Amino acid sequence: MRTRPEVYVNQAGVWYFRSNPIDNQSILNYFKQNLKRDKEGLYYIENRFGERKEEGYIQGVAGFPFQISSISNSLKAYLECDIELALDPVWIGDQANTRPTVLFYKDDSTLWTLVQTEGSSRAIPARLTGPCMASLHKDLEEKADGLELHLNESSFPVIERSPDDFFQELDLTPPDPSDNPVE
């Protein structure tokens, strides 16, 4: 079943229900752990209740829906919502239409990457937290052609790229009652 909950992620990466920030950490983690993108690039939260499955298409994602708290030498990203995901440089580069890489930078203070949650058809952008970026300082090297990240005995370029085409424009129009049928 497809529904339209009044959930969205603002430009700062804060999750909202209607006009209120979602403060309950367990609800927020549940939403993040079940966030997916369909083939058209639309975001939804997948809810499973036994045999039933609901896809709650959210109102948009204007900023990074995930934050990465650490990255291991074995190319694992640990998200703040208790998810561990492998980082595949070839897949990340393919999704971003760049050469293989692990990280991108948007500006002087934003490092980010692309992750794929289980069951998601498309990549989801994830921003590195400040402590995560600081922990990588020993693995970053300034080269003549830009920054390079050294992990797992491999080197990856840190590529300048905007994440904007991985976001989804906000549509804060309240859903029609028929968008959320009661069973």
Please check the confidence at residue 180 and state whether its pLDDT lies above 80.
no
Say what percent of the chain tops pLDDT 90: 84
Query: How high is the pLDDT of residue 41?
Result: 95
Inter-residue contact 78 to 71 (CB < 8 Å): yes
Q: Residue 177: what pLDDT?
A: 77
Sign of CA dihedral 40, 46, 49, 50: positive
Task: Please check whether residue 136 is in contact with residue 130, taking contact to mean a CB–CB distance below 8 angstroms.
Answer: no
Question: For the chain, what is the mean pLDDT?
Answer: 94
Residue 178: predicted pLDDT: 76
Range of weakest confidence among 16-30, 113-127, 130-144, 166-180: 166-180
* pLDDT value of position 183: 54
Domains of the chain: 2-62 (3.10.540.10), 66-166 (no CATH)
Whether the predicted pLDDT of 118 surpasses 60? yes
**Whether the predicted pLDDT of 48 surpasses 90:** no
pLDDT (average), residues 56-60: 95
The 10s digit of each residue's pLDDT in 70-89 is: 999 999 999 999 999 999 99
pLDDT at position 182 is 62
Per-residue H/E/C for 164-175: HHHCECCCCCCC
Residue 175: per-residue pLDDT: 79
